[in-house]
Structure 1
Amino acid sequence: MIVNILDEGHPENRMFLKLYDRRFSERLRDTFRTNPWTKDFEKEYINAVKTGAIREFLDKLHPIHSFEREAEEDWNDGEVEAFLCDQVRQIFDAETAVYDRLRDIQGEMVPRLIARVKLAISLPDDGNSSSHDHITPVTRDEVAEQLDIKGVLLQYIDGFILSQMTVRAPRSDWQSIVDQAVAVVHAVGDRDILNEDVGPENFLIRPDGYGSYQVLMIDLGHARLRRQNESDHAWYNAKLAQGEDIAVGGAMRKRLAKYEGFELRFEVSERYRKLVGLNDDE
């Protein structure tokens, strides 16, 4: 969502607002095969927030790894919404942590993170919520944590995504644009980040008006930092298995193969194969 900041003294009035809102996250709902959001779902969720049932549900969800798998089919609509809320919070936490790690290349290879924001949602007082004697009433902070919608203000990039390159940029620039995208993947990885959602749709291309382009990676919610106790061997294997550069360079080479007379030059990095100790024929 593009927004304008009503502050004459702010150097960049136009920004991109990204809200982590379970209600309208079609991709998240498709991933977990849940139904589209409805007002009835929201009523059940809000009622469960009021009674404290959501807190009890999340207390079971987090420490018991098998709880999600074993109990998912028995969840009511309010619990499904609570699960989705928990998922988008994890995406928010992951994305902001990655942006913090990439502070030195913000504005160059990823958009600048300008601010974390919160959309406060008031708890309706309809007088009809049920209560359970065995559940302690929730605090105002707990209600806010379960209802408020987190978000980020990002630098607005006026451009197009990499998958649109063939209709937005001349053929003579395709190679250099893809090369930049692969270089961004490597730069992000060099900062101990593993991105599980890399592809042509995750890169913005900004023309500078003089025949050159800036390539920036976006949508970092499915990336993670290297864990504190993650061994070199485990990390190298994770990076090798993910194949982030292939997800961009390889994907674009396949897409561009249909254009007669053009062949994208792309070589898979051997860095993590060598670090893991694999030979070329393995």
Structure 2
Amino acid sequence: MIVDLLGRSRPDKPVFLKLYDRRFAEQLRRDHGIDPWTTDAENEYIQAVQTGATRQFLHNLHTLPSFEDDTWDTWNDGQFEAFLTVQVDKLFDAETAVYDALRDIQGKLVPRLIASVRLAVSPSNASVGCADAAGLLHVKGILLEYIDGFSLAKVQDHAPRSEWQGIVDQAIGVVQVIGDHGILNRDVRPDNFIVQRVGNGAYRTFMIDFGLARLRGRDESDRDWAKAKLNKDEEGAVGLVMKKRLAREGFELRFACSDRFMEWAGGDDESSGSVRSEKSKTIASEGPSHETRH
């Protein structure tokens, strides 16, 4: 949501508030097969937090092997809400870690991260015994620079045909720069780019949404990292999808996946090329997919 910050020297510059709120995480609920939020489920969750039952449940979830798979079918509504709290916290942690790693390109290729926030969402009488438990009744969020623009997925509706190639090329360039910062993103898609008109017929492209991204592991080898990057084919998730989309408008987009990681992964290894080929076919035929619970 777009908000104004009180007391700012530039009240005419709104910011974007992104909340990681399990109650309204519709896609996350669908992915895990969890029913939509209800007040009854919330009350059961609050009661479990107050009694300490949620703390024990989360301890089991984090420490017992196969606990989730073995007990999933027995969970009550309060436990599902606790599980979702963990999931949205992971999204928050991932996104803030990525923005921290991208400090040098904030405001240039990604929005500027202004602050992280915590909002109390429980009733005032929902007292709990410790700070850790109180945190389970808060919603985390981030304040981002608001980029006034349009989605790359809708470029054909907002930009002249003559600019389509350059705008898509910009988006692919952003993917490459972010990858050079040691980031792998499982959610690269045209909807996650904002294109801003900056005057004189020029455009700037920003990437958003890093909840499903991760940093390169400290001990992750060049080969393992390259294979992970090739398997996700982040460039193809933009270029191939936009190529197919713009072809429906009679426009031939020029795009070919780069070989930036082929050498690290063992470019002469037939399996490396096979991974890229099969992934590219999937992206081109189906577009982006959502992670689901199995």
How high is the TM-score relative to the length of structure 2?
0.88
For 1:221-240, list aligned pairs within 5 A.
221-240=211-230
User: Mean Cα displacement is larger for which, 112-121 or 39-48?
Assistant: 112-121
Residue 126 (structure 1) shift: 7.5
Query: In the alignment, is residue 266 of structure 1 matched against residue 255 of structure 2?
Result: yes
**Quick one: percent identity of the two aligned structures?**
54
Residue 139 (structure 1) shift: 2.9
Give distance in 2, aligned partners of 1:118 and 1:2: 17
Query: How many residue pairs end up in the alignment?
Result: 271
For 1:166-181, list aligned pairs within 5 A.
166-181=156-171
Residue 32 (structure 1) shift: 0.8
Give distance in 2, aligned partners of 1:280 and 1:209: 47
User: Does the Cα contact within 8 Å between 2:46 and 2:126 map onto a contact in 1?
Assistant: no
Question: Deviations along 1:208-247, whole A, 9 cap, x unmatched?
Answer: 1220111000011100001112122211111110100000
Could you tell me which residue of structure 2 aligns to residue 28 of structure 1?
Answer: 28
Alignment-mate amino acid for residue 99 of structure 1 = Y
Give distance in 2, aligned partners of 1:122 and 1:71: 27
List runs of 5+ in structure 1 lacking aligned partners. 128-137
Give distance in 1, aligned partners of 2:59 and 2:204: 45
Of 274, 279, 282, the residue aligned with 2:268 is 279
Could you tell me which residue of structure 1 aligns to residue 103 of structure 2?
Answer: 103
User: Does the Cα contact within 8 Å between 1:18 and 1:151 map onto a contact in 2?
Assistant: yes
Give distance in 1, aligned partners of 2:126 and 2:120: 18
Query: In the alignment, is residue 61 of structure 1 matched against residue 61 of structure 2?
Result: yes
Question: Deviations along 1:66-123, whole A, 9 cap, x unmatched?
Answer: 1112211111100000000000001000000000000000001100000011102345
Query: In the alignment, is residue 37 of structure 1 matched against residue 37 of structure 2?
Result: yes
Give distance in 2, aligned partners of 1:194 and 1:9: 36
User: Mean Cα displacement is larger for which, 5-14 or 83-92?
Assistant: 5-14
Alignment-mate amino acid for residue 254 of structure 2 = R
Residue 11 (structure 1) shift: 6.8
User: Kindly tell me: are residues 280 and 206 of structure 1, through their superposed partners in 2, closer, same or farther at Cα, counting changes over 3 Å?
Assistant: farther
How high is the TM-score relative to the length of structure 1?
0.92
Of 125, 141, 153, the residue aligned with 2:131 is 141
Alignment-mate amino acid for residue 3 of structure 1 = V
Give distance in 1, aligned partners of 2:10 and 2:116: 17
Question: Deviations along 1:139-192, whole A, 9 cap, x unmatched?
Answer: 330232101111000000000000110001110000000000000000000000
User: Kindly tell me: are residues 30 and 55 of structure 1, through their superposed partners in 2, closer, same or farther at Cα, counting changes over 3 Å?
Assistant: same
Residue 19 (structure 1) shift: 0.6
User: Does the Cα contact within 8 Å between 1:46 and 1:123 map onto a contact in 2?
Assistant: no
List runs of 5+ in structure 2 lacking aligned partners. 274-294
User: Does the Cα contact within 8 Å between 2:50 and 2:129 map onto a contact in 1?
Assistant: no
User: Mean Cα displacement is larger for which, 223-232 or 194-203?
Assistant: 223-232
Give distance in 2, aligned partners of 1:215 and 1:12: 22
User: Does the Cα contact within 8 Å between 2:50 and 2:126 map onto a contact in 1?
Assistant: no
Query: In the alignment, is residue 250 of structure 1 matched against residue 240 of structure 2?
Result: yes
Of 205, 213, 217, the residue aligned with 2:195 is 205
User: Mean Cα displacement is larger for which, 1-10 or 46-55?
Assistant: 1-10
User: Kindly tell me: are residues 245 and 89 of structure 1, through their superposed partners in 2, closer, same or farther at Cα, counting changes over 3 Å?
Assistant: same
User: Kindly tell me: are residues 37 and 242 of structure 1, through their superposed partners in 2, closer, same or farther at Cα, counting changes over 3 Å?
Assistant: same
User: Kindly tell me: are residues 206 and 280 of structure 1, through their superposed partners in 2, closer, same or farther at Cα, counting changes over 3 Å?
Assistant: farther
Could you tell me which residue of structure 1 aligns to residue 149 of structure 2?
Answer: 159
Could you tell me which residue of structure 2 aligns to residue 46 of structure 1?
Answer: 46
User: Does the Cα contact within 8 Å between 2:5 and 2:11 map onto a contact in 1?
Assistant: no
